Amino acid sequence: MVLPNFLVIGAARAGTTALAAFLGRHPEVFIPVKEPNYFSGWLSRKPFDGPQGKNVRPEFRCGTIEQYSRLFEGSRGFKARGEASVSYLPDVDAPALIQQTIPDVRLFAILRQPAERAFAHFHLQRFNRLEPVADFLKALEQERRGLRLNWMPSLRYVESGRYSVQLRRYRALFPTEQLKVFLTDDWRRRPHWVWRQILETLGVDEGFMPDFSERHAVTRVESRAWWVLLHTRPTWPVVPKRLRRVLGAALRSWWLKDASLSPELREELTKSYFRDDILQLQGLLGCDLHDWLS
Protein backbone atom coordinates (compact mmCIF):
# COMPACT_ATOMS: atom_id res chain seq x y z
CA MET A 1 0.00 0.00 0.00
CA VAL A 2 1.47 3.34 -1.11
CA LEU A 3 0.73 6.33 1.14
CA PRO A 4 1.94 9.96 1.19
CA ASN A 5 5.03 11.14 3.05
CA PHE A 6 3.81 14.74 3.32
CA LEU A 7 0.50 16.55 3.80
CA VAL A 8 -0.53 20.18 3.42
CA ILE A 9 -3.16 20.39 6.18
CA GLY A 10 -4.50 23.94 5.79
CA ALA A 11 -5.69 26.53 6.38
CA ALA A 12 -8.42 27.20 3.83
CA ARG A 13 -8.03 30.44 1.84
CA ALA A 14 -4.46 30.86 3.09
CA GLY A 15 -2.43 29.96 0.00
CA THR A 16 -2.64 26.17 -0.05
CA THR A 17 -4.00 26.00 -3.59
CA ALA A 18 -0.96 27.83 -4.92
CA LEU A 19 1.41 25.73 -2.83
CA ALA A 20 -0.15 22.48 -4.03
CA ALA A 21 -0.03 23.66 -7.65
CA PHE A 22 3.64 24.64 -7.41
CA LEU A 23 4.61 21.41 -5.66
CA GLY A 24 2.75 19.42 -8.29
CA ARG A 25 5.02 20.88 -10.97
CA HIS A 26 8.22 19.90 -9.20
CA PRO A 27 9.80 16.97 -11.07
CA GLU A 28 10.53 15.10 -7.82
CA VAL A 29 7.14 15.66 -6.15
CA PHE A 30 3.95 13.67 -6.79
CA ILE A 31 0.55 15.18 -5.95
CA PRO A 32 -2.39 13.25 -7.46
CA VAL A 33 -5.30 15.55 -6.56
CA LYS A 34 -6.16 18.35 -4.16
CA GLU A 35 -8.67 17.83 -1.33
CA PRO A 36 -9.18 14.05 -1.18
CA ASN A 37 -10.12 14.64 2.51
CA TYR A 38 -9.44 11.04 3.56
CA PHE A 39 -8.18 11.74 7.08
CA SER A 40 -11.02 14.13 7.92
CA GLY A 41 -13.73 11.99 6.35
CA TRP A 42 -15.49 15.08 5.01
CA LEU A 43 -17.63 14.26 1.97
CA SER A 44 -17.23 10.55 2.68
CA ARG A 45 -17.59 9.10 6.20
CA LYS A 46 -18.96 12.07 8.19
CA PRO A 47 -22.56 13.24 7.76
CA PHE A 48 -23.49 16.89 8.19
CA ASP A 49 -26.65 18.95 8.34
CA GLY A 50 -27.17 22.27 6.60
CA PRO A 51 -26.93 23.24 2.92
CA GLN A 52 -24.16 20.78 2.02
CA GLY A 53 -25.42 17.83 4.04
CA LYS A 54 -27.13 16.13 1.10
CA ASN A 55 -23.95 16.25 -0.96
CA VAL A 56 -22.05 14.01 1.44
CA ARG A 57 -21.70 10.75 -0.45
CA PRO A 58 -18.78 8.28 -0.25
CA GLU A 59 -18.20 8.24 -3.99
CA PHE A 60 -17.36 11.96 -3.98
CA ARG A 61 -14.04 11.52 -2.18
CA CYS A 62 -11.85 8.89 -0.52
CA GLY A 63 -13.76 7.14 2.22
CA THR A 64 -11.51 4.10 2.65
CA ILE A 65 -7.76 3.61 2.98
CA GLU A 66 -7.83 1.46 -0.17
CA GLN A 67 -9.39 4.29 -2.21
CA TYR A 68 -6.88 6.71 -0.75
CA SER A 69 -3.87 4.51 -1.46
CA ARG A 70 -4.89 4.11 -5.11
CA LEU A 71 -4.35 7.85 -5.58
CA PHE A 72 -0.62 7.32 -5.06
CA GLU A 73 -0.11 4.25 -7.23
CA GLY A 74 1.74 6.33 -9.83
CA SER A 75 4.15 7.88 -7.32
CA ARG A 76 6.89 5.26 -7.38
CA GLY A 77 10.19 6.87 -8.28
CA PHE A 78 9.27 10.27 -6.78
CA LYS A 79 11.17 11.44 -3.71
CA ALA A 80 8.11 13.13 -2.24
CA ARG A 81 4.45 12.21 -2.58
CA GLY A 82 1.63 14.01 -0.86
CA GLU A 83 -1.62 15.91 -1.04
CA ALA A 84 -3.31 19.04 0.28
CA SER A 85 -6.62 18.90 2.16
CA VAL A 86 -7.47 21.99 4.18
CA SER A 87 -10.05 20.01 6.17
CA TYR A 88 -7.25 18.31 8.11
CA LEU A 89 -6.40 21.37 10.21
CA PRO A 90 -9.83 22.12 11.74
CA ASP A 91 -11.03 18.52 11.90
CA VAL A 92 -10.95 17.08 15.43
CA ASP A 93 -10.26 13.48 14.38
CA ALA A 94 -7.77 13.97 11.53
CA PRO A 95 -4.55 14.33 13.61
CA ALA A 96 -5.02 10.98 15.39
CA LEU A 97 -5.87 9.10 12.18
CA ILE A 98 -2.86 10.62 10.42
CA GLN A 99 -0.58 9.65 13.30
CA GLN A 100 -1.92 6.09 13.33
CA THR A 101 -1.66 5.67 9.55
CA ILE A 102 1.52 7.55 8.56
CA PRO A 103 3.33 8.52 11.82
CA ASP A 104 6.49 9.80 10.07
CA VAL A 105 4.63 12.09 7.65
CA ARG A 106 5.79 15.69 7.13
CA LEU A 107 3.07 18.24 7.79
CA PHE A 108 2.77 21.78 6.41
CA ALA A 109 0.32 24.48 7.48
CA ILE A 110 -0.16 28.03 6.20
CA LEU A 111 -2.10 30.39 8.46
CA ARG A 112 -3.86 33.56 7.37
CA GLN A 113 -5.08 36.37 9.62
CA PRO A 114 -8.33 34.75 10.79
CA ALA A 115 -10.72 37.65 10.13
CA GLU A 116 -9.38 37.94 6.57
CA ARG A 117 -9.56 34.18 6.16
CA ALA A 118 -13.18 34.03 7.36
CA PHE A 119 -14.21 36.86 5.02
CA ALA A 120 -12.52 35.23 2.03
CA HIS A 121 -14.00 31.83 2.84
CA PHE A 122 -17.50 33.27 3.18
CA HIS A 123 -17.30 34.88 -0.25
CA LEU A 124 -15.94 31.69 -1.80
CA GLN A 125 -18.93 29.77 -0.44
CA ARG A 126 -21.32 32.46 -1.66
CA PHE A 127 -19.71 32.42 -5.09
CA ASN A 128 -20.07 28.64 -5.21
CA ARG A 129 -23.73 28.94 -4.12
CA LEU A 130 -23.09 26.90 -0.96
CA GLU A 131 -23.58 29.64 1.67
CA PRO A 132 -27.31 30.42 2.04
CA VAL A 133 -26.91 33.69 3.98
CA ALA A 134 -26.03 36.77 1.93
CA ASP A 135 -24.75 38.85 4.86
CA PHE A 136 -21.32 37.93 6.25
CA LEU A 137 -21.97 39.26 9.76
CA LYS A 138 -25.29 37.42 9.94
CA ALA A 139 -23.52 34.16 9.07
CA LEU A 140 -21.01 34.74 11.88
CA GLU A 141 -23.83 35.52 14.31
CA GLN A 142 -25.58 32.28 13.37
CA GLU A 143 -22.39 30.42 14.13
CA ARG A 144 -21.94 32.24 17.47
CA ARG A 145 -25.48 31.27 18.49
CA GLY A 146 -24.83 27.61 17.72
CA LEU A 147 -27.17 27.45 14.73
CA ARG A 148 -24.51 25.80 12.56
CA LEU A 149 -23.22 23.17 14.98
CA ASN A 150 -23.50 20.21 12.62
CA TRP A 151 -23.20 22.11 9.37
CA MET A 152 -20.33 21.36 7.03
CA PRO A 153 -17.27 22.81 8.83
CA SER A 154 -16.39 24.87 5.76
CA LEU A 155 -19.51 26.93 6.56
CA ARG A 156 -18.32 27.60 10.13
CA TYR A 157 -15.96 30.50 9.54
CA VAL A 158 -14.98 31.41 13.10
CA GLU A 159 -14.25 27.85 14.18
CA SER A 160 -11.97 27.39 11.15
CA GLY A 161 -9.84 30.34 12.30
CA ARG A 162 -9.10 29.10 15.81
CA TYR A 163 -5.59 28.00 14.90
CA SER A 164 -4.09 27.59 18.37
CA VAL A 165 -6.70 24.97 19.26
CA GLN A 166 -6.15 23.15 15.96
CA LEU A 167 -2.35 23.16 16.13
CA ARG A 168 -2.30 21.91 19.73
CA ARG A 169 -4.02 18.75 18.57
CA TYR A 170 -1.14 18.13 16.16
CA ARG A 171 1.56 19.18 18.59
CA ALA A 172 0.24 16.62 21.07
CA LEU A 173 0.80 13.79 18.57
CA PHE A 174 3.73 14.82 16.35
CA PRO A 175 7.27 16.02 17.12
CA THR A 176 7.76 19.73 16.50
CA GLU A 177 10.15 19.09 13.59
CA GLN A 178 7.46 17.18 11.67
CA LEU A 179 5.06 20.13 11.57
CA LYS A 180 6.12 23.27 9.69
CA VAL A 181 3.89 26.31 10.13
CA PHE A 182 4.07 29.36 7.86
CA LEU A 183 2.08 32.57 7.64
CA THR A 184 0.26 33.74 4.53
CA ASP A 185 2.00 37.09 5.02
CA ASP A 186 5.39 35.39 4.44
CA TRP A 187 4.05 33.26 1.60
CA ARG A 188 3.01 36.49 -0.14
CA ARG A 189 6.00 38.72 0.72
CA ARG A 190 8.89 36.26 0.53
CA PRO A 191 7.69 33.13 -1.23
CA HIS A 192 11.22 32.00 -2.14
CA TRP A 193 12.10 31.73 1.57
CA VAL A 194 9.00 29.64 2.37
CA TRP A 195 9.46 27.53 -0.75
CA ARG A 196 13.09 26.64 0.02
CA GLN A 197 12.19 25.58 3.56
CA ILE A 198 9.49 23.25 2.23
CA LEU A 199 11.75 21.73 -0.43
CA GLU A 200 14.54 21.28 2.10
CA THR A 201 12.16 19.47 4.43
CA LEU A 202 11.01 17.20 1.59
CA GLY A 203 14.58 16.49 0.54
CA VAL A 204 14.03 17.43 -3.11
CA ASP A 205 15.90 19.69 -5.52
CA GLU A 206 15.82 23.24 -4.15
CA GLY A 207 16.76 24.72 -7.51
CA PHE A 208 13.28 24.34 -8.99
CA MET A 209 11.47 27.69 -8.82
CA PRO A 210 7.91 28.27 -10.04
CA ASP A 211 6.48 31.63 -11.09
CA PHE A 212 5.30 33.03 -7.78
CA SER A 213 3.47 35.90 -9.49
CA GLU A 214 0.72 33.48 -10.57
CA ARG A 215 -2.59 33.97 -8.76
CA HIS A 216 -4.55 30.99 -7.53
CA ALA A 217 -8.02 30.66 -5.98
CA VAL A 218 -8.71 34.41 -6.00
CA THR A 219 -11.64 35.37 -3.76
CA ARG A 220 -14.48 36.73 -5.91
CA VAL A 221 -17.75 38.45 -5.12
CA GLU A 222 -20.78 36.64 -6.47
CA SER A 223 -22.37 38.09 -9.60
CA ARG A 224 -25.72 37.23 -11.17
CA ALA A 225 -24.37 38.16 -14.58
CA TRP A 226 -21.46 35.77 -14.15
CA TRP A 227 -23.81 32.94 -13.26
CA VAL A 228 -25.93 33.67 -16.31
CA LEU A 229 -22.78 33.24 -18.38
CA LEU A 230 -21.92 29.95 -16.67
CA HIS A 231 -25.40 28.57 -17.25
CA THR A 232 -25.15 29.29 -20.98
CA ARG A 233 -22.15 26.97 -21.27
CA PRO A 234 -23.94 24.51 -23.60
CA THR A 235 -23.98 27.22 -26.28
CA TRP A 236 -20.25 28.00 -26.06
CA PRO A 237 -19.07 25.39 -28.61
CA VAL A 238 -20.78 27.33 -31.43
CA VAL A 239 -18.47 30.30 -30.74
CA PRO A 240 -15.01 30.05 -32.39
CA LYS A 241 -12.33 29.00 -29.88
CA ARG A 242 -10.18 32.11 -30.25
CA LEU A 243 -13.17 34.42 -29.86
CA ARG A 244 -14.32 32.40 -26.85
CA ARG A 245 -10.96 32.97 -25.16
CA VAL A 246 -11.05 36.73 -25.76
CA LEU A 247 -14.67 37.09 -24.68
CA GLY A 248 -14.11 34.95 -21.59
CA ALA A 249 -11.21 37.11 -20.42
CA ALA A 250 -13.20 40.30 -21.00
CA LEU A 251 -16.29 39.03 -19.19
CA ARG A 252 -14.26 37.85 -16.23
CA SER A 253 -12.72 41.29 -15.84
CA TRP A 254 -16.15 42.99 -16.11
CA TRP A 255 -18.25 40.69 -13.97
CA LEU A 256 -15.85 39.31 -11.36
CA LYS A 257 -14.70 41.58 -8.57
CA ASP A 258 -12.26 40.77 -5.79
CA ALA A 259 -13.77 40.71 -2.31
CA SER A 260 -12.22 43.33 -0.05
CA LEU A 261 -12.35 43.50 3.76
CA SER A 262 -12.19 47.01 5.20
CA PRO A 263 -9.61 47.71 7.93
CA GLU A 264 -12.41 48.75 10.29
CA LEU A 265 -14.34 45.51 9.91
CA ARG A 266 -11.13 43.48 10.13
CA GLU A 267 -10.31 45.09 13.47
CA GLU A 268 -13.85 44.64 14.77
CA LEU A 269 -13.98 40.96 13.84
CA THR A 270 -10.53 40.32 15.28
CA LYS A 271 -11.50 41.80 18.64
CA SER A 272 -14.87 40.07 18.75
CA TYR A 273 -13.91 36.58 17.61
CA PHE A 274 -10.18 35.94 17.32
CA ARG A 275 -8.08 38.07 19.69
CA ASP A 276 -7.69 35.48 22.46
CA ASP A 277 -6.78 32.71 20.04
CA ILE A 278 -4.20 34.91 18.28
CA LEU A 279 -2.54 35.63 21.63
CA GLN A 280 -2.46 31.90 22.35
CA LEU A 281 -1.02 31.25 18.89
CA GLN A 282 1.80 33.75 19.49
CA GLY A 283 2.97 31.75 22.46
CA LEU A 284 2.56 28.44 20.68
CA LEU A 285 4.59 29.47 17.63
CA GLY A 286 6.95 31.85 19.41
CA CYS A 287 6.38 34.62 16.88
CA ASP A 288 5.03 38.18 16.88
CA LEU A 289 1.50 38.44 15.50
CA HIS A 290 1.02 42.12 16.32
CA ASP A 291 -0.01 42.81 12.70
CA TRP A 292 -2.85 40.33 13.07
CA LEU A 293 -4.16 42.11 16.15
CA SER A 294 -3.96 45.71 14.93
Q: What is the pLDDT of residues 25-74, one digit of tens each?
A: 999 999 999 999 999 998 888 888 888 665 555 555 688 999 999 999 99
Q: Distances from the Cα of 39 to the Cαs of 69, 102, 164, 231, 255, in angstroms?
A: 12, 11, 20, 34, 37
One-letter identity of residue 66:
E
| pLDDT tens-digit series, residues 115-166 | 999 999 999 999 888 899 999 999 999 999 999 998 999 999 999 999 999 9
Beta bridge partners of 29: 80
Mean pLDDT of 4-19: 96
pLDDT band at 216 (very low <50, low <70, confident <90, very high): low
Q: What's the rounded Cα separation, in Å, for the pair 106 and 201?
A: 8
Angle at 143 (CA atoms; ends 141, 146), nearest 5 degrees: 110
